[in-house]
Amino acid sequence: MVGAACLVGAITTAVLGVTYQRSLGQAVTVARDHARAEADRAAGVIDSELRRFEVAVTGVATAINSGGQDTETLMANLRQGVDRTPQMAGVGVAFRPLAHDPNLRLFAPYLRRRGDAVEQLQLDTLFDYTQGNRDWFEGPLKSGRAMWSEPAVAETLGATAVEYSALLTRGGTAVGVVHGAMSLTEVNDIVSAVDVGEFGYSFLVSQGGFVISHPFADEYALGMRVFTGMSLQDRGSVEDVTDPVTGEPSWMFTELVPATGWRLGVVFFKDQAERTEALRRQRIHLAIALIATLCLFIALVLEPYRYTYAPFPLWLGVGAGSLVLLLGIAFIWAVPYGNNPPTRETETTFVDTGSVRRFSLDTMRGSLASKGTLPSFVPTGVFIQTMEILSPNNVAVTGYVWQRYARNIPKEVARGFVLPDASDREITEAYRSSTADAETIGWYVKATVRQKFDYANYPLDQQAFRLRIWHSDLNRSIVLVPDLEAYKIIHPLARAGLDGNFVLPGWAVSRTQFGSTPRIRTTTYGLTSEGDAGAELAFDVVINRRIIEPMLSNLLPLTVSGFMVFALLLILKESTRGNVVQTLSAFSGLFFVVILSQLDLRRRVSGASILYIEYYYFVMYFTIVVAALTTLTNGYPGLFPWIERREHFLPKLLYWPVILAAIAVITLVTFY
């Protein structure tokens, strides 16, 4: 019978193992295909944008070549080009020495975009563009064709840009170039819109290996390759790499941008594809089948000793079975630990600028459909310097919150925010900065924030500290969105928004992320207008508890108590019948030790439900009571012969397997 059950268990384990491997392979394949498709799609979008820019610059050059090269005509064509091309940060012409006017060595008028305005510069009065090996000027003249330059800090813009240059000709001879600059901000917006969700990020590298767009662009000097093993020639290549940003084992997909020869890369984290709910449950099923099969195999091996007294093989088998159960418990612990927190259906998680753009468009469509008006969007950022868990539901935080108000937002709209969960707060304006497009205001925040933490899985719990933010003007349609442009990298695993020296004793930071949830208003706050319920912005810090401290403070005392109870059972013999009262006194002492330990746990970690670790205490209570009753049988010989047989050998033998089996079942029910 045991042999048949063992065979069935082995077959079931094999089937579940094959099924899991197939499901894992399918999940990885789907994720890889999605990342590859996104890389291909984004490369096509970037190529289309760059070709549109090429057409604009080439159109200006054609108009100048065919319409005359006097100063008035030049400026008219340049102005027309910059007005028609929003992506163009600047455009100009640059003549070879003496080519425009024999009495004028250099001539290079340039139009630079400044917000909604356009200003004119004379590059020839700022620097000698024929010196210094400037790609945008020397490249087309040497090669005889239009071309893109490598990314560099544009002297005309004061920012990193790429330039496209077309030949300026007269009578079939090249006399200069028409060059247009595209800010890397425009390119970054396209690259960051690649939809790989929480599973990775994208970057762009020029043909010469220069970093054009990368979440950690500040960490890479121009000319440095993102990955030393990256091939810039092979189209559609896939490489196994260790991501230098997060340290995660990853795949890197690269696609060619035909217009320029640039390479778009998509880094996809391997482990993230495996962290799905379906795969998690399949791993637990496989673990259950494997544990049951191994236990049945041990029982099969011990079958010949069932009716004989052979202590050594029986104890050896019980030890092996207990070890299997212990490893099974540890495996089930590891399955849910560190998994991503579930996202509510009504919540939007922002993982890149593309998700912010989609949220903004959906919000505008909804507002137009319901109210016929457009909301105002206020980019808001958070930077947390310190965080301390004061009590089970109170968290003290310090840091900065800033908001960027566009110039088109009326002055009547209040500047500020509300922390609805803060019971004690100090908000002080720290700085204020203005540009042509917007005004940025930053506040230093010191607050105690109430949280609804769930400690049911303690000590394997994961908590999400949430800083909810409302706009202070409750009577207007203001929507807060994350100011993702203010962060180097916005992927959740990069822990954006936390100080580099951030420390939270007893916890490990898993991720940070911005989210938005609909705000349901149940009151008008006494205002004449109902205003707009809108959405609230949330900044989440997801933390995993470090289990060392709970193991030392809770599991270690329980383990010691368990071994002491086992030791008291081991001395249960016919020769110790006179010590029953003393043994029961020892059990009662251990019972109260366990009670005091549980009370201390409840004092430190409160919760509305029973904590996972508290079931360990319940198992220990039951164990002490059963051990005490077993000890009582030693004082009444002959009443329970099957228990008393061979000096209570059966209770001693089953002690650890029963305890560990109970804990395994509790663990399975809790985390399944």
Q: What are 88's two structure tokens?
A: 């163009």
The domain boundary, picked from 250, 275, 300, lies at 275
Res. 642: pLDDT tops 50 = yes
Q: What whole-number distance in Å separates Cα of residue 525 and Cα of residue 266?
A: 47
pLDDT at 633: 82
Domain holding 538, by residue range, is 348-546
Three-class DSSP category at 544: strand
Nearest-angstrom CA–CA distance, 497 and 513: 9
Angstrom distance (rounded) from CA 640 to CA 634? 9
Q: What secondary structure does DSSP assign to 145-166, as a single string?
A: S-EEPPPEEETTTTEEEEEEEE
Whole-angstrom distance, CA of residue 572 vs CA of residue 590: 17
Cα-Cα-Cα-Cα torsion 391, 394, 400, 406, nearest 10 degrees, comes to 160
The pLDDT value recorded for residue 220 is: 47
Residue 570 φ then ψ, to 5°: -65, -30
* Higher-scoring residue by pLDDT: 105, 171: 105
Rounded Cα distance, 283 and 270, in Å: 17
CA 546, chain centre distance (Å): 19
Q: Which of 515, 546, 577 is the last residue of a domain?
A: 546
Within-domain flag for 340:
no
Residues 581 and 535 in one domain: no
pLDDT higher than threshold 70 for residue 193: no
Instruction: For residues 467 and 593, state if they share a domain.
Output: no
- Residue 89 is encoded by which pair of tokens? 């940060």
Helix (H) or strand (E) holding 575: none
Q: Above 70 in pLDDT, residue 341?
A: no
Residue 167 neighbours by CB under 8 Å, 6+ apart: 61, 140, 141, 144, 145, 146, 174, 177, 178
pTM of the model: 0.75
Do 510 and 574 lie in one domain? The reply is: no
Query: Among 275, 302, 328, where does a domain finish?
Result: 275
Determine contact, residues 585/568, Cβ cutoff 8 Å.
Answer: no
Across 135-139, 271-275, 506-510, 621-625, least confident range: 271-275
209's enclosing H/E stretch is none
Q: For residue 532, give every residue at least 6 positions away whose Cβ sits within 8 Å of its Cβ, in sequence order, or none.
A: 367, 371, 375, 476, 477, 478
Q: Indicate if 451 and 476 belong to the same structural domain.
A: yes
Hey, what amino acid is at 641?
P
Q: Are residues 392 and 506 in the same domain?
A: yes
Whether 203 has a pLDDT exceeding 90, the answer reads: no
Query: Which residue would you say has higher pLDDT here, 7 or 431?
Result: 431
Residue 399 phi, psi dihedral angles, 5° rounding: 165, -160
What confidence tens digit (pLDDT) does each residue in 40-77 have?
Answer: 887 888 888 888 889 999 999 998 888 777 888 888 88
- In terms of average pLDDT, the best of 259-273, 294-308, 319-333 is 319-333
Res. 217: pLDDT tops 60: no
Could you tell me if residue 320 is inside a domain? no
The pLDDT of residue 646 is 76
> Strand ranges (DSSP E) for 519-567?
535-545
Hey, which of 65-74, 240-249, 623-632 has the most confident mean pLDDT? 623-632
Contacts 24+ apart (CB under 8 A), 69-73: 69/100, 69/168, 69/170, 69/175, 71/109
The secondary structure element, H or E, covering residue 102 is none
Report the pLDDT averaged over residues 120-139: 87
Residue 630 maps to which CATH number?
Answer: 1.20.58
At residue 176, the pLDDT reads: 92
pLDDT of 551 strictly over 60: yes
Q: Give me the pLDDT at residue 580, please.
A: 75
Q: How far apart are the first and last CA of the chain?
A: 30
Say yes or no to pLDDT of 336 above 90. no
Average pLDDT, the chain: 83
Kindly give, in sequence order, each residue whose CB lies less than 8 Å from that of residue 548, ignoring residues fewer than 6 positions away: none
Q: Which of 252-261, 523-532, 597-606 has the lowest mean pLDDT?
A: 523-532
Q: What is the pLDDT of residue 221?
A: 41
Residue 55 and residue 94 in one domain = yes
Closest CA relative to residue 491, chosen from 351, 384, 347: 351
Q: Looking at this protein, which amino acid is placed at residue 344?
A: R
Q: Which residue has the higher pLDDT, 545 or 245?
A: 545
Residue 369 domain-assigned? yes
- Specify which residues 516 forms β-bridges with: 348, 537
Residue 435: give its domain's CATH number: 2.70.170.10
The answer to the question of residue 540 being in a domain is: yes
- With respect to residue 316, please indicate whether it lies within any of the assigned structural domains: no
Residue 434 DSSP symbol: E
Cis peptide before 341 (omega within 30 of 0): no
Q: Please give the average per-residue pLDDT across 179-206, as a whole number.
A: 75
Distance from C-alpha of 191 to C-alpha of 46, rounded to nearest angstrom: 8
Q: Return the structure tokens found at 126.
A: 């700022």
Domain with 241 in it: what CATH number? 3.30.450.20
- 91 within 8 A of 178, measured Cβ to Cβ: yes
Q: Is residue 398 part of a domain?
A: yes
CB atoms within 10 A of CB 618: 14
How far is it, in rounded angstroms, from Cα 669 to Cα 661? 12
CA–CA separation, 623 and 620 (whole Å): 5
Q: Are 554 and 531 found together in one domain?
A: no
Cβ–Cβ contacts within 10 Å for residue 133, how many? Answer: 8
Residues 566 and 465 in one domain: no
Q: 623 lies in a domain?
A: yes
pLDDT at 6: 83
Do the beta carbons of residue 34 and residue 42 sit within 8 Å?
A: no
Is residue 17 domain-shared with residue 132, that is, in the same domain?
A: yes
Res. 100 pLDDT band, cuts 50 70 90: confident
For residues 233 and 354, membership in a common domain is answered with no
Q: What's the burial of 306, exposed, middle or buried (CB within 10 Å: 0-12/13-18/19+)?
A: exposed
In this prediction, residue 526 has a pLDDT band, given cuts at 50, 70 and 90, of: low
How many structural domains compose the chain?
3
Question: Most confidently modeled of 54-58, 248-252, 635-639?
Answer: 54-58
Give the residue among 108, 261, 251 at the shortest CA–CA distance from 176: 108
pLDDT in tens, 388-426: 999 888 999 999 999 999 988 888 888 999 999 998 889
Q: 606-619 pLDDT, tens per residue? A: 777 889 999 999 99
Question: CA-to-CA distance for 47 and 411, rounded, in angstroms?
Answer: 41
CB 313 within 8 A of CB 336: no
Q: Is residue 174 part of a domain?
A: yes
Q: Is 433 found in the same domain as 521?
A: yes
What integer pLDDT is reported at residue 184 of this predicted model? 76
Q: Are 355 and 192 in contact (CB under 8 A)?
A: no
Mean pLDDT score, 567-573: 85
Give the CA diameter of the chain.
126
Q: How sure is the predictor about 198, in pLDDT bands with cuts at 50, 70 and 90?
A: low
Task: Give the single-character DSSP code of 577.
Answer: G
Question: Phi-psi category of 402—alpha, beta or left, where left has phi over 0 and alpha has psi -120 to 50?
Answer: beta
Average pLDDT estimate for 215-235: 48
Q: Are residues 97 and 242 in the same domain?
A: yes
Greater model confidence, 431 or 528:
431
- The residue type of 608 is A
